[in-house]
Amino acid sequence: MKAIDFTHAGGFPLTQDELDYLQQAYTECINALSAMGGDGPTLISGMAITSSGGTTTVDDGWFFYNGELIRFSSSSYGAIPLGDVVLVTIVPTTTNLIYNDGSSFGAVLDKSATLTTGPSAVTATQFPLGMLQPFQVVFGQNGREATWSSLPVSTPVPSGGVTGTIFYKKDLMANTLHIRGQLTANNAQNFNASPAALFYTMTTLPAGYIPANTAYFTAQYFVAGLIKDDLGVGWIKQVNCSVNILGQFTVNWIKPDISIGGYAVSFNSIISLD
């Protein structure tokens, strides 16, 4: 990060070069932070949209576009001509300064934006209002693991002979675990009989993906119909699952009717790691 040390005695040599260096120091930081929300156009703040009596108003705010943070001035629009769209239009302004030698240069630069209507087009100075994306959308995407990790499941035949794969990934911003998969109990008659069904351990998640408190969720019986339990008094549509504080992924498998040798369940759940 750029900085200038102003503590030395002797008279600091302030020139245009030093002022430009200071300007670069803050613009680089602003652009780096804003870019976390995407390449743009990215809504940073404000620009709330309200409609009343056929008129739509977009409030003051700020957005990031083409590497610049740009101020938006509140503006409104009514009926949109056929074939046109509402456009955010960036207007650059330049103010001249008189220099010591009498010369005049356009030195004070600014950019602001307002609304216009016209054919849909994306240029360096305009884009459709509908393209504007809130900062937190891409920032949130960047805060999530992009790929799924997986754990194979294969339990002994006496424990149901369960096979399948568990997929998982973390949302670092929300500190949550997204877990999904499908498991098939190939030897379901070996599960503990009702009503003393057990939670069977399928696998163990690695460190960093383990909740601070045991989390419970359900898995759905994989097909549309239902099957009866081994007592013939209840229909199986869901089974309970959990991820405990040791990272063990468990399923409360239910022994089915004697005519059912095996069945599958699927799950897709988000778990708080707090």
Tokens of 262: 């095996």
Could you tell me if 34 and 99 lie in one domain? yes
Rg (CA), the chain: 30
Tokens of 48: 């709330």
Could you tell me if 54 and 164 lie in one domain? no
Helix (H) or strand (E) holding 20, with range, is helix 16-34
Tens-digit pLDDT string for the chain (274 aa): 888 888 999 988 888 899 999 888 888 888 888 777 777 799 999 999 999 998 999 999 999 998 899 999 999 999 999 999 999 999 999 999 999 899 999 999 999 999 999 999 999 999 999 999 998 888 787 888 989 999 999 999 999 999 999 999 999 989 999 999 999 999 999 999 988 889 999 999 999 999 999 999 999 998 888 999 999 888 989 999 999 999 999 999 999 999 999 999 999 999 999 9
Could you tell me if 60 and 112 lie in one domain? yes
Residue 83 structural domain? 16-139
Q: Which of 165, 200, 203, 171 is nearest to 184 (CA)?
A: 165
Within 10 A of 25 (CB to CB), how many other CB atoms are there?
14
Could you tell me if 39 and 121 lie in one domain? yes
Rounded Cα distance between 182 and 200, Å, is 15
3 state SS of 31:
helix
Q: What is the 3-state secondary structure (H, E, C) of 161-229?
A: CEEEEEEEEEECCCCEEEEEEEEEECCHHHCCCCCCCCCEEEEECCCCCCCCCCEEEEEEECCCCCEEE
Could you tell me if 112 and 94 lie in one domain? yes
112, 139, 166 - which closes a domain? 139
82, 114, 139 - which closes a domain? 139
> Domain containing 266 — which CATH number?
2.60.40.1830
Whether 32 is covered by a domain: the verdict is yes
Could you tell me if 29 and 94 lie in one domain? yes
Contacts (Cβ under 8 Å, ≥6 apart) of 2 = 21, 22, 24, 25, 28
Tokens of 191: 């599960």
Domain tally, the chain: 2
* 8 Å CB contact between 90 and 62: no
Could you tell me if 156 and 129 lie in one domain? no
* 8 Å CB contact between 43 and 70: no
